[in-house]
Amino acid sequence: MKSFMAVLAVTTALTIPSLASAAQVTLTTKMRSYGGNGAYLAYYVTNAQGRYVGSLWMAGGKTRYYEHLSGWYRATGGNTAEINGITGASVGSGRTLKVTLDLADTLFDAGYQLHIDAAVEDMRDSPNEIVVPLTSAGAGKAVSGSRYIANFSFAR
């Protein structure tokens, strides 16, 4: 079980000026026993038009592998400034990752979607393995992934 506390970097689009309009959100990702090395996971948000808004978390530290997170990579051009200060270790087979962040209230119930791209060395790339709308109603509901992620949920 890994857990992280993080406050989004000031430069990202998701920043909130004061904590008054923000709430702590915990993202819980449980991995399947896929039987490979640690998985790289990219968490990012797109708006109602499907445009990239910003990144929430990057699990995995070696930039040369980021191109395998192809949805995130396409959206950002692999720009590591997008994940400055919100990077952690990759997540092993069968393990669970919990990340707690301060997210602006305005992101919820406004058509934003949370994406998770996953990739494992020498195995299949799995962009958009999870795509969930950021809604108040969706909080606490587990969503299954297709390849590496057993289930994902967020809690406010």
Partner 1 sequence: MIRSLHRWFGLIAALLLIVITVSGAALSIFPVSDALNTPSAGNISVATLAERIKANEPTVEQIRRAPSGQITAYYFKGDAPVSSAIDPATGAALGTTEKSGVERWLINLHRSLFLDDNGRYAVAFGAVSMLILSTAGLFMLARRAGGWRLIFKPTRGTGDGRLHAILSRAALPGLLLSSMTGLWMVAATFDVLPQGAPAPLFPTEVSGQTGMAPGKIALLQQTPVDALRSLTFPLAGDSTDAFRLKTSDGEGYIDQGNGTLLAWSDANWIDKASHLATMLHTGRGLAWLGVILGLSALVTPVLSWTGLLIWLKGRGRQKIKSVAAADADTIVLVASESGTTWAFAQTLQSALSAAGLRVHVGPITAFNPEHWPKAKRVVLMAATYGDGAAPSMAAGFLDTFRRMPVKRGLSLAILGFGDRSFPAFCGFAKDIADAAESKGWSSLVPFDTVDRQSPQDFARWGRVLAQKLRLDFELNHVPVLPRTWQMELISKRDYGASVQAATSILRFALPKHSFWKRFLGQGFPRFEAGDLIAVVPEGSQLPRYYSLASGSKDGFVEICVRKHAGGLCSGQLVALEPGDSITAFVRANPGFRPQRGRKPVILIGAGTGIGPLAGFARANQKHRAMHLYFGTRHPASDAFYAEELYGWQKEGRLASVSTAFSRSATPAYVQDLLRADAAKLTKLIAAGGQILVCGGREMAAGVADALTDVLAPAGPSLATLKAEGRYAEDVY
Chain residues binding partner 1 by CB under 8 A are 35-37, 61-64, 67, 70, 74, 77-78, 89, 122-128, 146-147
Q: How far is the CB of 5 from partner 1 (least distance, A)?
A: 22
- Beta carbon nearer to partner 1, 61 or 111: 61
Considering the complex, what minimum distance in angstroms separates the CB of residue 6 from partner 1? 21
Q: How far apart are CA 83 and CA 85, in angstroms?
A: 6
Q: Which residues pair with 91 in a beta bridge?
A: 39
Beta carbon of residue 11, minimum distance to partner 1 (angstroms, whole number): 20
Min dist CB 124 to partner 1, Å, is 5
**Residue closer to partner 1, measured from CB, 124 or 141:** 124
Return d(Cα 129, Cα 126) in angstroms, integer.
Answer: 6
Q: What is the distance, to the nearest Å, from the Cα of residue 103 to the centroid of all Cα atoms in its chain?
A: 12
For residues 19 and 48, which CB has a smaller minimum distance to partner 1 in the complex? 48
Collect all residues with Cβ–Cβ distance below 8 Å to 102 and sequence separation of at least 6.
7, 8, 16, 19, 22, 23, 24, 25
Nearer to partner 1, 17 or 77 (CB): 77
Residue with tokens 């990012």: 44
Q: Which residues pair with 52 in a beta bridge?
A: 46
Q: Which is nearer to partner 1, 54 or 127 (CB)?
A: 127
Cross-strand bridge partners of residue 57: 43
Q: Which two tokens stand for residue 125?
A: 């790339």
Shortest distance in whole angstroms from residue 146 CB to partner 1: 6
